[in-house]
Amino acid sequence: MLGFVPQPNLHQMREFNYVYLLNRTKNQNKLETIAKLRQFGLSDEQIAGALELPLEIVKQVGLEG
């Protein structure tokens, strides 16, 4: 059938939303943790190692906005 676009079922949509929100929450928690660790005097290198994040990502936190 030309122009037919299959629609995702309700279960797929709920699963996608759950995963999206879970990842968003995890990312927000890591951003907050980076800020807290900086307040304790840790360097970006130490924070990257502790949180298992690339150093470039840690250095970008706080530079936006």
The H or E element that residue 46 is part of is helix 44-51
Retrieve residue 5's tokens.
């676009």
Asked if 51 and 34 touch (Cβ cutoff 8 Å), the reply is yes
Work out the average pLDDT over 31-40. Answer: 94
SS3 16: helix
In this predicted structure, what is the pLDDT of residue 50?
Answer: 94
Work out the average pLDDT over 5-20. Answer: 80
Work out the average pLDDT over 39-62. Answer: 93
Confidence at 33, pLDDT banded by 50, 70, 90:
very high
In this predicted structure, what is the pLDDT of residue 65?
Answer: 44
Name which residue leads in pLDDT, 24 or 3: 24
Asked if 33 and 63 touch (Cβ cutoff 8 Å), the reply is no
